[in-house]
C-alpha cells in the first residue's frame, strides 16, 4: 500500500523525459520490497502457527518434570493430623489411601498403587481431601455457635478420621487422574470446568488415552498436577501463544465473573467459615460494611460495587495451629487474616513469604488489565483468583485460574 502510493506520487509529479530512466527501475525495486514484505509477513505467520502447534502437541508428561512425589494421608489419619500434613508440605489438598478391596473410591473411581514388577495392588486411593472439606466439616450444620463449648466442639470435630469427611466439597465427590499422554489441550479442558487438580501416574501402561480425566488407573506411584502448574507452564511458553492474546484485556476475553459473594469487615471468623461452606467457595472477598447498617454480618452478601479491603480463604486456616484457631474463632475474619500473615507457618520459606505478603496485599486488577498482567500477578503471588476492581477500588468481579485457562485454551483452538 505504501509502495503503491509512492509510485503514484512520482508518476504524477515527475512525468518529464529525463527521469524516465529512473522510473523504469523504481517499480522493480518497489515490487521487490513488496515481495520481501509479503515473504516476511508470511514467514512470521507461519512461525507463530508452528509455535502454537508445538504447544498444542505438548502432553501432561511435559508438565510433570521435576514434580515431587505425591503427598498423601492414610484413611485412619485424624482430621487434625491431615491438617498438619497440609501445613508441613505446603499443599492445600491430599489424596486419602486405604487398603485395597475395602472401599469404593469417590465417584466410583478405582485408582490404585501397584507393585511395578508383580502388579499386586498395594493401596487404593479413596478420595481427595482439601482445605475446603476441612472448613465445611468444622462449620458443620449447627456447630461453632460461639458458645462456651466451642473449643471442646472443635477438638471433637478435628479428631474424626479423615475418611469420614470425603466428599464435603464438589472436588471431593470424585477422584480424577490424567494420563501422562493426555494432550495439553485436553488437560486444560478438564481444568477449565471446575477440577482444580488431578493425579498423574508415573508409569501408566495405558496407550489409548481418551480425552479428559480417568476414573480407573494403576501405577507404582503418582504425582499431582494443579491449575497453578498448568498456568506456570503456559507462562514459561508464552512466546508460543498467539502474539495478540496476552495484550487483550480480561474483559475483552470474557474472563471476568461478575457474580461475587462477599463477607464484611465485621463478619466473625466463625461466621466466615460457615459462609465458605454455604457457598462452597475456596475464598471470599472482604468488603467494607455499609454505613447504613443493613448488612447481615453472619451471611453472604452481594459484593459488587462494594469497597474491597481483604480476602478470606480456606487456606488461611493453615496459618495457625488448632489451639490458636480455637482462641481466634470470635475475632473478625479480617483481623484473622492480618494475624496469620505473620504466622511462622507462612514465613518458613520464600514461597510462604509470597503467600504471606498476598494476605496483606490486595491482589487486584482492572477490567482493562491485560491477560499477561493477570497471569504475572497470579503466578508471582501464588493466588488462585484476582479480584477485579474499578478505579475507586470497588469490587466488580473476579478472574480465577479456571477462567484464565479457559480463555487461553479457546485462543489455542482458534489458531487451529
- Three-state DSSP at 92 gives coil
Cα angle 203, 216, 82 (rounded to 5 degrees) comes to 85
Which three-class secondary structure state does DSSP give residue 227?
helix
pLDDT at 295: 87
CA 138 – CA 133 distance, rounded (Å): 9
404 membership: H or E segment, kind and range = helix 401-414
pLDDT at residue 339, as a whole number: 84
Model confidence over 264-276: pLDDT tens digits?
Answer: 999 999 899 999 9
pLDDT confidence of 20, banded at 50, 70, 90? very low
Write down the mean pLDDT value for the chain: 80
Condensed to tens digits (0 to 9), the pLDDT of residues 74-83 reads: 999 999 899 8
Q: Give the list of residues 6+ apart from residue 231 with CB closer than 8 angstroms, or none.
A: 375, 378, 379, 401, 404, 405
Banded pLDDT at 210 (limits 50, 70, 90): low
* pLDDT recorded at residue 399: 98
Write down the pLDDT at residue 50. Answer: 47
Q: What is the pLDDT, as a whole number, of residue 368?
A: 97
Q: What is the mean pLDDT of residues 323-338?
A: 85
Q: Which of 162-171, 202-211, 221-230 is predicted least confidently?
A: 202-211
Those residues whose C-beta lies under 8 Å from the C-beta of residue 288, and which sit 6 or more positions away, are 264, 265, 306, 307, 309
Name the pLDDT band for 349 (thresholds 50, 70, 90): very low
Q: How confident is the model at residue 184 (pLDDT cuts 50, 70, 90)?
A: very high
- The 10s digit of each residue's pLDDT in 112-148 is 999 988 889 999 999 999 888 888 888 775 444 444 4
Question: What pLDDT, on a 0 to 100 scale, did the predictor assign at position 36?
Answer: 55
Residue 280 to residue 305: CA distance in whole angstroms:
22
First and final CA of the chain: distance in angstroms?
29
Q: Is the pTM of this model over 0.85?
A: no
pLDDT tens by residue, 47-97: 444 444 588 889 999 999 988 889 999 999 999 899 889 888 888 899 999
Q: Evaluate if residue 356 carries a pLDDT over 70.
A: no
Q: pLDDT digits over 276-319, tens only?
A: 988 888 999 999 998 877 889 999 999 999 999 999 998 888 76
Amino acid at each position: 500500500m505504501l509502495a503503491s502510493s509512492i509510485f503514484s506520487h512520482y508518476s504524477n509529479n515527475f512525468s518529464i523525459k529525463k527521469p524516465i530512466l529512473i522510473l523504469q527501475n523504481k517499480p522493480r525495486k518497489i515490487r521487490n520490497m513488496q515481495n520481501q514484505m509479503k515473504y516476511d509477513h508470511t514467514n512470521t505467520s507461519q512461525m507463530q502457527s508452528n509455535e502454537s502447534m508445538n504447544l498444542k502437541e505438548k502432553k501432561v508428561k511435559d508438565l510433570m518434570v521435576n514434580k515431587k512425589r505425591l503427598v498423601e494421608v492414610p484413611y485412619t489419619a485424624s482430621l487434625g493430623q491431615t491438617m498438619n500434613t497440609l501445613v508441613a508440605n505446603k499443599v492445600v489438598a491430599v489424596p486419602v489411601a486405604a487398603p485395597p478391596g475395602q472401599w469404593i473410591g469417590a465417584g466410583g473411581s478405582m485408582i490404585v498403587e501397584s507393585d511395578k514388577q508383580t502388579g499386586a495392588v498395594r493401596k487404593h486411593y479413596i478420595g481427595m481431601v482439601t482445605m475446603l472439606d476441612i472448613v465445611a466439616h468444622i462449620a458443620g450444620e449447627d456447630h461453632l455457635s460461639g458458645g462456651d463449648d466451642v473449643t471442646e466442639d472443635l477438638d471433637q470435630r478435628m479428631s474424626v478420621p479423615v475418611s469420614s469427611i470425603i466428599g464435603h466439597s464438589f472436588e471431593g465427590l470424585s477422584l480424577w487422574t490424567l494420563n501422562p499422554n493426555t494432550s495439553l489441550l485436553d488437560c486444560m479442558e478438564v481444568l477449565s470446568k471446575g477440577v482444580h487438580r488431578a493425579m498423574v501416574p508415573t508409569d501408566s501402561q495405558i496407550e489409548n488415552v481418551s480425552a479428559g480425566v480417568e476414573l480407573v488407573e494403576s501405577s507404582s506411584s503418582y504425582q499431582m498436577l494443579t491449575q497453578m502448574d498448568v498456568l506456570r507452564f503456559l507462562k514459561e511458553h508464552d512466546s508460543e501463544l498467539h502474539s495478540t492474546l496476552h495484550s487483550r484485556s480480561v474483559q475483552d476475553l470474557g474472563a471476568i465473573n461478575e457474580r461475587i459473594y462477599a463477607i464484611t469487615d465485621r463478619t466473625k471468623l466463625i461466621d466466615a467459615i460457615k459462609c465458605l461452606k454455604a457457598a462452597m467457595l475456596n475464598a471470599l472477598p472482604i468488603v467494607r460494611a455499609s454505613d447504613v447498617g443493613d448488612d447481615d454480618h453472619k451471611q453472604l452478601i452481594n459484593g459488587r460495587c462494594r469497597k474491597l479491603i481483604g480476602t478470606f480463604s480456606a487456606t488461611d486456616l493453615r496459618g495457625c495451629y488448632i489451639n490458636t484457631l480455637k482462641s481466634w474463632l470470635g475475632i473478625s475474619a479480617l483481623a484473622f487474616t492480618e494475624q496469620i500473615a505473620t504466622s511462622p507457618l507462612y514465613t518458613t520459606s520464600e514461597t510462604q513469604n509470597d503467600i504471606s505478603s498476598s494476605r496483606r496485599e490486595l491482589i487486584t486488577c482492572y477490567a482493562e488489565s491485560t491477560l499477561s498482567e493477570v497471569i504475572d500477578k497470579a503466578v508471582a503471588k501464588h493466588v488462585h483468583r484476582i479480584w477485579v476492581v474499578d478505579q475507586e477500588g470497588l469490587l466488580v468481579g473476579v478472574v480465577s485460574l479456571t477462567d484464565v485457562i479457559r480463555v487461553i485454551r479457546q485462543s489455542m483452538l482458534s489458531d487451529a
